Structure formats: structure tokens, C-alpha cells
Amino acid sequence: MLTNQDRLKQCFQKTQYKIGGNGARNVGVLQEALSKVDSLTESDMYGSGSLIEDFEAKFARLLGKEAAVFFPSGTMAQQIALRIWSDRANNRNVAYHPLAHLEIHEQDGLKKLHQMKTFLLGEEDRLLNLADIKALPEPVAAILIELPQREIGGKLPSFAELKEISAYCREKHIALHLDGARLFEVLPYYQKSAAEVAELFDSVYLSFYKGIGGIAGAILAGTADFCTEAEIWKRRYGGDLISLYPYILSADYYFEKRMPKMAQYFTKSRELAKRWNGTEKVTTQPEIPVSNMFHVYFEGASEAVSDILADLMDECDLGITGYLLEKDAGSCSFELSIGDATLEVDPKRMERFF
């Protein structure tokens, strides 16, 4: 028997147009990225070679940091960043938001592999703030801040507040690490360069398969000695692959393709959130997006909402979502990220759906 959620997923997959994302994650994405690459281009070799070194230098420059290291994943990069700060402070305490990726999506890797003690700053449904940091019961080696805070719809502190947090951490000798999985996506809101945001942090992680739409991979940037240590840990983790070029070439290709469109995604995101909020029994979090993403909330249980959405998706041939998360008090939600797929939908089709 097909559940309503199964049907929702099937209907979503069947639709030709999608309201979110950068298109299907299929092998064509990699084939496109490689199609113009000279087949004689030499592979990187265990972190060496111009293919990886030039890419790392490019992102070090972009972030205004001395150096950068390419990692297969952000999970690996961020655990390592926190471990390095922890070793330097000789303190196993670190702090982050209760819904940080490290706390909810990594099977406790940080604790199991590094015996780290984590302090959760603030509450699940809001951003962490300076008062939360000041209220920490023990000294911490490092604090991780995610911009935007994805699990609550992609919210952001003001740039002024970020500066205050950064100044406080510097004063207290707490290393400040940026989970910038979606850093490019918030630059149009802050009206800052990546380097201006990164300047407030001691280490910065970037992802290439969120708004950029690459295959996988991450950058970790900081001082030269920080990155030298990070490379040693990358080897320890088994992340220093003989060849990372499939991820590097595609990251670079899609970065060049989509970085110039971040402002467009942001504008479209605000436009679409407004449209959702003007629909009965629907709201978004945040109400006015500060990046290319937001969460859509429906009044009603997921069973009932699934049915309505599935019918509408079928009728309009427009994929909205393949899942709904049950929330408290008879509501349900899904996450929407604006990308190339969104821009390609005919506005008439979108309007028909709404």
C-alpha cells in the first residue's frame, strides 16, 4: 500500500519542472563539468599538483585567508578544525547551536573520534547570540557558527551582531569557526564579500554542493600553519585521496557558473516566500528570507497536506517537495532552496500552482 508520503515522493520525481534546487543530481552533472576539460590534465596526487593547489589558492584568496585545504566533505573538515583549535587551547570544550550539523547529522563523530565535550548555545528554534556565549558554564576552545542557520530555515544574525561576537571571542581567546556551507548564499543579504565575512572568523568551511550545485567537497581555510595541521588530520581521516579531481573540477565549474547568480537566487527567494505567505494556511521561516533558502510550513497534518500537494504537482507538472516533516501542533514543513531549476520554471506555471 502506497502511503501518502510515498505518493508525494513519486509525484515529485515524476514532474518535469522543480521549484527548488539546481536540477537533478545525476551523472550528467559531472559529465557537463568535465566536458571542456583537456583529457591530458594531470590528476592531483595525494593533495599535491597544480589542479588541487591552484584551486586551494583561489579560495584562500577569495576568503582573505593565508591558505585553504580541499576536503572530500564538510563533516571531515569541520571536526578537524575544532580538533585543531581544541589542541591549541588544550581544552576539549567546544560550543555551537543545538541544531549544528555536527550535533545532529554526524553520528557524534566529534565526540567519538576526539572525545570532545560540546556545549549547545541558545535554543533549537532561534539563532544563538552573544548572551548565550557569555552564559557558557565553562571555558571553550572554539565556537562554531553556521551562516545561515539551515535547520531553522536559514536565519542570520545581523552583521553588526556577528562583529560583536567575533570581538568578544578574540578578547576571550576563543577560536571562532564559520560553518559556511551556504556562505556564498548569504553574501547578497549582507552586501559583503566572502572575505569580509571570513575576516570575523579564525577558520572557515565552504561547501560546493549546496547553492553551487557541485558533486561534493569542501574548503577549509585559515592561517598557513592551521592548514598544514589540517592536512595532517586529513591524511589521518583517510580524506587525503590519491585523486580528488572529480570533486575539484566540478566544484570549480559550478562555482564559476552559479556564484554570479547568488543575487538572483536571493531575489527570487524573497519573491517566492512572499507568494507562499500570501497563500492561506501557509507561512515561511524566516518570513522574509536572508538567503536563497527558507522553510515552508503548512497548517494541517502531513497526511492531508501530502494529498493536496501531490494533486497540485500532478496537475501543474511542477515539483514542490518530495517529503513533508511532521511538526508540532498539526503542522508540517519542507525546505526550499532557490537555484537554477527555480529560475527555469515558467512564471505562469508557478502562478497556476499558487
Residues at the site binding its own copies, with contacts judged by CB under 8 A: 24-31, 34, 37-43, 45, 71-77, 79, 106-109, 112-114, 209, 215-216, 232-233, 235-247, 249
CB atoms within 10 A of CB 87: 14
Least distance (Å) between residue 97 CB and its own copies: 19
Q: How far is the CB of 128 from its own copies (least distance, A)?
A: 23
Min separation Cβ 247 and its own copies, Å: 7
Q: How far is the CB of 99 from its own copies (least distance, A)?
A: 17
Tell the smallest beta-carbon distance from residue 196 to its own copies (Å): 28
Q: Cell for 96?
A: 555551537
- Between residues 241 and 312, which has the closer beta carbon with respect to its own copies? 241
At closest approach, how far in Å is the CB of 173 from its own copies?
Answer: 25
Of 183 and 218, nearer to its own copies (C-beta) is 218
Instruction: Name the one residue in this structure whose C-alpha cell is 502562478.
Output: 351
Question: CA 344 → CA 100, 265, 309, 311, distances in Å?
Answer: 32, 12, 21, 22
- The nearer residue to its own copies, 188 or 322, going by C-beta atoms, is 322
- 347 to 20, 270, 284, 350: CA distances (angstroms): 14, 15, 20, 5
Rounded distance, CA 10 to CA 15, Å?
9
- Closest distance of CB 241 from its own copies, Å: 5
Residue number, 75 or 292, with CB nearest to its own copies: 75
Residues 187, 190, 195, CA angle at the centre, nearest 5°?
A: 55
Query: How many C-beta atoms lie closer than 10 Å to residue 312's C-beta?
Result: 15
Residue 332 amino acid letter: C
**243 vs 285, beta carbon nearer its own copies:** 243
Whether the Cβ atoms of residue 53 and residue 43 lie closer than 8 Å to each other: no
Measured from the CB atom, is 238 or 347 closer to its own copies?
Answer: 238
Nearer to its own copies, 32 or 307 (CB): 32
Give the neighbor-by-neighbor strand order of the sheet with 67-71.
Answer: 67-71, 218-222, 203-207, 175-180, 142-146, 93-96, 117-120
Other Cβ atoms within 10 Å of 155 Cβ, number: 21
CA distance 330 to 281: 12
